[in-house]
Copies of this chain bind each other. A is one copy, B any other.
């Protein structure tokens, strides 16, 4: 654990099959006006919408609805939501959905009273929040982004062809999140496995960096092993409670700031994936899986020790009397086998990348400097070509 850091994560998590029972108690902590945020309406089909409306009514809340949050929430939608929150003077934003709905809700919470253009302030200039923040609570229906216990929010600006994330401080973290694994059962399989890979990618982005012997790396190896084990079960039987509950828990801890403490982190797979997403509107997790193997093969020589450790500790590769490079490559091969087994996109052409858009995607890719190799835009182009 190197460097000086602060850890603080005040989000209260209610976990389990009966966790929605806690919503009523939480609602008592907030005023009358609740802005109910959700996505494309699947919560209406599953009956969750009716259950939540009933709880809100029972608690005497005035409900202000803001549905139709898209998978990659846009800056235009954000402006509309901020206006709704401000004009209705809402006391709580209740996000019911997956990462997009929660990311959007957090963005609304810091934009309603923002004195500036929120997209410019938070996502272009990365400035801190300087206005009143509306509290956010969550009922999670889809796992992957970890948004239920962090300050992250990713917003897409179609006009500027940019998809950018801002990590807000703990005052923007959800006050509470309700995590019921059963609510994740209804998700279509493609979305489910995209979420699984998103979780895996969150861990790998934080794992593949640094040379120190850090406890966070050991925790991440545990999370990865549990994820791989449970994902294989869930893909065969999406209603295996134990597997789905483990995955839900791993998703939260993969991205609630814990495993990044005391080390550097990479995030280049997300930067490339988000740039693809801004061009193709493809499912987030699939854009990550589509470029991961090409990216990791490219940077492997710069972090060979860690890639060999990954092969041994996560994938059980036998390292005895073997060349480190062979061991590391076998680890990535096994990762590829796992990805094929759960059924995620293996190549960027599957998520809409073409030779024509590669220069644009590479140019839109934000270059981070925490990984084993600081890439040039030309190298991003190369990785995208390798991944086609």
List chain A positions with a Cβ less than 8 A from chain B: 1-19, 22, 181, 212-215, 217-223, 225-226, 229-230, 242, 245-246, 248-250, 253, 258, 261-262
Contacts and interface: CB of A to CB of B under 8 A. Distances in A.
Contacts of A215: 222-223, 226, 230, 246, 249-250, 253
Contacts of A212: 242
A131 to B, nearest CB: 22
B12 A16 contact: no
Nearest to A248: B1
Contacts of A242: 1-2, 212-213
Contact of A219 (B219, B229, B262): B219
A383 to B, nearest CB: 30
Given A1-B16, A10-B10, A218-B222, 16 more contacts: A1-B242, A1-B245, A1-B249, A4-B19, A5-B15, A6-B13, A6-B22, A8-B13, A15-B261, A15-B262, A215-B253, A217-B226, A219-B223, A219-B253, A245-B262, A249-B262
A60 to B, nearest CB: 24
A277 to B, nearest CB: 28
A186 to B, nearest CB: 19
Contacts of A250: 215
